[in-house]
A and B are shown apart, each in its own frame.
Chain A
């Protein structure tokens, strides 16, 4: 068989291995239908043939999928050794034989529902009344949001900068400068407390810095390290931007930048 044909055959076999492992994992099939020794022999047999990066990636993917199946096999053995293990066929058979009433009666013996209370308190009623009193009628509120008629005219770039519609520098330039500042301020540890980085003498400036930091993180210039129990957040700059697009496990982190938090931080800095 020519080397080209042999390579093609090897690729097809590896793809079949990957598909089999994936279907076992995704469809909760019995992991023992996969003969590990057999697959390892296939992987070994074709490994010397691979030269191109795509071929090596395929080989690595097959090994990775195989390791997932081995983990499933290990979990299966662990589960069988616990007291919760029941043969699904045996249980299915038993469920089919019992009547609905019998099943429900059995279930309530193992069921301890959560207890909750629902009650309005005079305090919450008073709060709600206060809110209602301060609430403007709908027509007044809607009138406030209606458009004001203005004469159409031209604005200069300076005027737009003054009104903060345009920035003096291009946003990307400003972001890069901010990133450089972060890199300089992190020190040897490679990170800095979030509030120490965004905090400024002026509250408005603090908000602006928090806003810029959120872009640093979103655009992959930096990341956040969050210690929920200690309620501490650190900012860590990356050496090169690492875009988050397409990455798994990306999440939003809401951080309150209230005046109270800013005051507390400022008092803490002053000692």
Chain B
């Protein structure tokens, strides 16, 4: 009897967290504003001050589906030990955990050369310390894409939030790149592929 009574509060807590996880999933999956994602303070308002724990539980559920809750902090560099105030200001999204296999990426409604253009623009801006003149990016894109597509594509990358453009015509990485793209992996992949290609050439018999 005592054991049964002891279980009750635990069951209550479990039911409470189960409700909170469901609510968190709804908040994160359905868009409530112009931009996707939810701010930390919105989660706090809806789920209570233990929302980081609720998000963690949801994240472990989503792991089985190869999804994750991604936290994007206001500062460009994520704090090592984020405080509750850092989390309140951060934005939370649900993203793929492991990324897409190339074949599936075609289903995202993008043409392969549009994705290539995006890769070029993002990696060039990263290499220029996060800010690059639009003309330079346009010139680089023009080497692989027809001129009429360059302007259209850049406009699209800006509209979607991958890139931003300031008054001086400088392009920078915007919120969607910070949420969706693993910048370090991208640069390593770009440099790595080239190195292996060079390696192959070096190993070729003369």
Contact = CB atoms under 8 A, between A and B. Distances in A.
Nearest to A117: B29
A135 interface: no
Interface string A60-87: 0000000000000001100100011011
Contacts of B133: 27-28
A119 B25 CA distance: 14
A27 B166 CA distance: 11
Interface string A109-135: 111111111110000000000000000
Interface of B: 29-31, 36-37, 41, 67-68, 70, 85, 88, 93-102, 105, 108, 112-113, 115-116, 118-120, 122-124, 126-129, 131-133, 140, 143-145, 168, 170, 176, 179-187, 189-191, 193-194, 197
Contacts of A90: 191
B189 A115 contact: no
B184 A108 contact: no
A57 interface: no
Contacts of B179: 114
Q: Is the interface of B mostly helix, strand, loop or mixed?
A: helix
Given A86-B126, A113-B96, A114-B37, A95 B120 contact: yes
B168 A104 contact: no
Most buried by A among B119, B180, B185, B186: B119
Most buried by A among B98, B102, B145: B102
Nearest to A113: B180
Given A103-B116, A105-B102, A114 B95 contact: yes
A147 B139 CA distance: 58
A106 B115 CA distance: 10
